[in-house]
Amino acid sequence: MFSLPVKTAMFVLLSCSFCFASDELTGTIAQNPEYTIYEKDGVLFCTGNTEAALHNNKGAEKLVANDLEGAIDIFKEGLKHAPLFYPFLYNCGVACMRKREYDAARIYLEKAMHIVPENPKIYILMGELYALTGREGDALILFRKALQINRKELQAIIKIGNIYVDRNQLELAVTFFDAALKINPQYPDAVIGYAKIHFKKGEYYKALIWLKSIDVAKGDYDKAYHYYFAESSFKLKDYKTAYEQYEKLLQFKNDVFFLTHSYALIEHKMNLSRQFAELEHVE
């Protein structure tokens, strides 16, 4: 989770000519600079009881619940009154991404980027958008831009490493996962990165060793963890574990993982694993 610096948050909040309650937003934030914008589950929320904050949070709750149409309608209504309100733009971009409306997402995120160019998270989000649309080179540029702003931005480091894994440039990928662990030795997504490399090499036992070292109950992590755990287990004919991990992965149907992977295919693999596990039990 992150919060924008007070100076930045005040600029974002004060920059909108919000018409609700006779521009209550401007007066409230000016008198209460402790009000901030913060992230939860990849979505921006606002503290305080201003009309803008409450309107944004209503849409943000719908976005977290994956009511994409409802969220977009709320953010678009807000943007009619406050076209420069950063959370509306950011969250509308996120909602459009999750709906696979990538051109619309780019427009909203580019506007948000121009309003608060010092926020590394917006470059990461835009980089994810480019990666989803096959523009990996542009994605790398944006992830590196995030690192120019914050050299310890772990998400950017991991996403660069993941692109190199996808390109089969595994030695380069290792340097980024190593860098992430130097910043945070317990960072789960860096450990998942090593597992991805071993999986790519066909070293399924080693992939599982890395994955089993992660305590996913402690916090947020890349849900691809369950995919690689399941796939490695299936390759090693541990069908019971594969079934369990596919089943866990399917619980996160709203996760960004399913922007690049078929839910139906994962469901099919889960059922196949269960059938193989049942056959083994019969034998």
pLDDT, one tens digit per residue, over 121-174 is 999 999 999 999 999 999 999 999 999 999 999 999 999 999 999 999 999 999
Residue 51, in any domain of the structure: yes
Q: What pLDDT sits at residue 50?
A: 86
pLDDT in 10s for each residue of the chain, 283 residues: 444 543 444 444 444 434 333 233 332 333 344 568 888 888 999 988 888 899 999 999 999 999 999 999 999 999 999 999 999 999 999 999 999 999 999 999 999 999 999 999 999 999 999 999 999 999 999 999 999 999 999 999 999 999 999 999 999 999 999 999 999 999 999 999 999 999 999 999 999 999 999 999 877 899 999 999 999 999 999 999 999 999 999 999 888 899 999 999 999 999 999 999 999 776 5
Burial class of residue 82 in the structure, from the number of CB atoms within 10 Å of its CB (0-12 exposed, 13-18 middle, 19+ buried): buried
Q: What pLDDT sits at residue 8?
A: 46
Q: What pLDDT sits at residue 15?
A: 41
Q: What is the count of structural domains for the chain? A: 1
229 closest CA partner among 184, 188, 185: 188
Residue 277, in any domain of the structure: no
Residue 232, in any domain of the structure: no
Residue 45, in any domain of the structure: yes
Residue 57, in any domain of the structure: yes
Q: What pLDDT sits at residue 266?
A: 97
Q: What pLDDT sits at residue 282?
A: 65
Residue 46, in any domain of the structure: yes
Q: What pLDDT sits at residue 88?
A: 95
Q: What pLDDT sits at residue 32?
A: 44
Query: What's the domain range around 42?
Result: 1-101
Q: What pLDDT sits at residue 204?
A: 98
Residue 94, in any domain of the structure: yes
**CA–CA gap between residue 274 and residue 169 (Å, rounded):** 34
**CA–CA gap between residue 19 and residue 26 (Å, rounded):** 10
Q: Which two tokens stand for residue 88?
A: 């509306």
**CA–CA gap between residue 206 and residue 221 (Å, rounded):** 19
Q: 183-197 burial, b if ≥16 CB within 10 A, otherwise e?
A: eeeebbbbbbbbbbb
Q: What pLDDT sits at residue 156?
A: 97
